[in-house]
Amino acid sequence: MSGESGYFFTNLSCALQFVQDMNYASLKMDRSEFEAYTSGDLVPPLNMMNCGCNQALGSMEESLARLRELIERQHTLSSRIDEVERRLSAEEAELSEEFRKVLSSYPSEEYQKLKEQIAREEKETMEVCSLTSTFTNSSRSSAEAEEPEKMRDNATSTAVEQ
Determine the pLDDT at residue 43. Answer: 78
Long-range contact set of residues 127-133: C-beta below 8 Å, sequence gap at least 24: none
When the pLDDT of each residue in the chain is averaged and rounded to a whole number, the result is 82
Same domain as 4, residue 31 = yes
Residue with the bigger pLDDT between 153 and 123: it is 123
Domain that holds residue 62: 46-106
Same domain as 16, residue 29 = yes
- Number of domains, the chain: 3
Same domain as 85, residue 116 = no
Q: How many residues are there in the chain? A: 162
Write the pLDDT tens digit of every residue in 25-83.
888 989 999 888 888 888 777 665 666 666 777 888 999 999 999 999 999 999 999 99
pLDDT band at 118 (very low <50, low <70, confident <90, very high): very high
What sign does the dihedral 7-10-16-17 (CA atoms) show?
A: negative
Same domain as 123, residue 102 = no
Write the pLDDT tens digit of every residue in 93-108.
999 999 888 877 776 7
Residues 6+ apart with CB under 8 A from 44: 37
Determine the pLDDT at residue 155. Answer: 56
d(CA 12, CA 18) in angstroms, rounded, equals 10
Are the CB atoms for 35 and 25 separated by under 8 Å? no
Which of 109, 113, 93 has the alpha carbon at shortest distance from 101?
Answer: 93
Percent of the chain with pLDDT over 70: 76
